[in-house]
Amino acid sequence: MNLTSRLRILVRSACFSLFQVINMKFSDITGHRNVVDSLRNLVDSDRIPHAILIGGPSGIGKMRLVRALVNYIYCLDRHNGDSCGKCPACLQNDHHNNPDLHFVFPRTGASTKSTDSFLPKWFEFLDESSFMPPEGWARHIEAANTVPVIYRSDADDISRTASLSSFAYRYKTYVIWLPERMQPQCANALLKLLEEPYPDTLFILVSNEPDKLLPTIFSRTQRFNLKPLPDEDISRMLTNAGLNSVEAHEVARLAEGSMLKALDIAGEGGEIKEFSSYYMQMMRLAYARNAGAVRMLSEGIAALGREKTGRFLAYCARMTRESFICNLHNPQLNVMTKSETDFNARFSPFVNHKNVERIMAEIQRAHTDVLRNGNAKLVLFDFMLKVMIQLRR
Ligand SMILES: [Zn+2]
């Protein structure tokens, strides 16, 4: 069996066992020790802020940390600075039937559906996708071609239930995943709740892009910024999942601090492999000035859906950087897979000081346009034509 197949099997089994989010405790969290200690102290000293913002890039374990925090807050038998995992509160949290714990998340179907109708899918996703890729959620609710959002009506639901007293425990908690996806009216309604909080009502905002929140919301929260995971932490998690240390080290180096990316590189997701194949085709066709084939390719990529197209463009930005760095002839500065390295051995001279800034600017513009609901086919085609011009500079 070759290495890729072996990694695939190891990581697939790891996704469903080692990383499954059942009975999450502080001791299960890899990295982020300072934040864990601060949160634990706040609970221990009965000074839990009414609004907490856990921010940081996707794929570093923010929701795992929040699940451990929630368990710690509700646990009836805390000891050694951790939840017990066995008391009725811990079990209710695990089984998703704590009546005082609410989740709010981006979804589709503003007026036709309620958040409640998404809950079964939400809990599946929460338990099985421990590093919570937003695009994985969009796929899970079959919304790959739209960007799910948090609607005004979701904030109304919060207001309604927040005004009631809690059912079983002291605290009522609202965990809001991706608050940056709140519609403006929703954000304003939430702001009111944060400004005049009900007693013993906690809001925990879990954000991949905290700088996109309303500054007024941002400033009402106590903020904890989680940093990308160090390579050693990712490597250790992968080793625990069964990869040998050389493989784990290699994957960790490419993962840019994201466990999600590490699993994608090592595992079946293979998105990087797919993107790298599209990227290489795109550059070859652009260099050959084959506009007809470029057009077909842009249509093929746009068909992947808006969010995935956005990630493809992020991949293009990374590869452009890597190509440019190749020209410095200091391989230690490059972080690429074997096939990316092989490709760049010949391609990198075409990305140089004359065009690198323009290419990066075009990628950025296409990325913004695609995510803002521009016609992805046209945006991509236009982008590739501009790359075509730049490559010949
Ligand atoms: Zn407990």
Q: What is the mean pLDDT of each run of 10 residues along the chain (393 residues)?
A: 49 46 85 96 97 96 96 97 96 94 92 86 86 88 86 92 91 97 95 92 97 95 96 87 77 88 69 85 94 95 89 90 87 74 90 93 94 89 95 82
Q: Are 238 and 247 in contact (CB under 8 A)?
A: yes
For residue 356, report the distance from its CA to the centre of ligand 1, in Å: 55
Q: Per residue in 121-172, pLDDT tens?
A: 999 899 877 788 898 899 889 886 788 999 999 999 999 999 888 899 999 9
Q: What is the pLDDT of residue 268?
A: 42
Q: How far is the CA of 322 from the centre of ligand 1 (A)?
A: 48
Q: List the chain domain ranges.
A: 1-18+232-269, 31-225, 271-391
Measured in Å, residue 74 CA sits from the centre of ligand 1 at: 7
- The residues near 354 (Cβ < 8 Å, ≥ 6 apart) are 393
Cβ(385)–Cβ(298) under 8 Å? Answer: no
CA of 204 to the centre of ligand 1 (A): 20
Question: What is the helix (H) or strand (E) element at residue 322, kind and residue range?
Answer: helix 306-326
What pLDDT does residue 210 have? 96
Centroid of ligand 1 to alpha carbon of 234 (angstroms): 28
pLDDT of residue 173: 97
Q: How far is the CA of 283 from the centre of ligand 1 (A)?
A: 55
20 CA → ligand 1 middle, Å? 19
pLDDT at 2: 46
Question: 40 CA to middle of ligand 1, Å?
Answer: 14
Token reading at 202: 């906690």
pLDDT (0 to 100) of residue 269: 44
- pLDDT at position 242 is 67
Report how far ligand 1's centroid is from the alpha carbon of 25 (Å): 10
31-225 CATH pick, 3.30.70.20, 2.60.40.10, 3.40.50.300, 3.30.1220.10: 3.40.50.300
Tokens representing 346 are 């010949």
**Side-chain-facing half-sphere of 279: CA atoms under 13 Å:** 25
Distance 81 CA to ligand 1 centre (A): 11
Measured distance CA(54)–CA(72) in Å, rounded: 16
Pairing of strands 101-104, 51-55: unpaired
CA of 76 to the centre of ligand 1 (A): 5
What's the CA-to-centroid distance between 175 and ligand 1, angstroms? 19
Containing 103, the helix (H) or strand (E) segment is strand 101-104
pLDDT of res. 244: 75
> Ligand 1 mean position to 65 CA, how many Å?
16
Residue 271: the pLDDT is 73
- How are beta strands 51-55 and 201-207 bridged, if at all? parallel
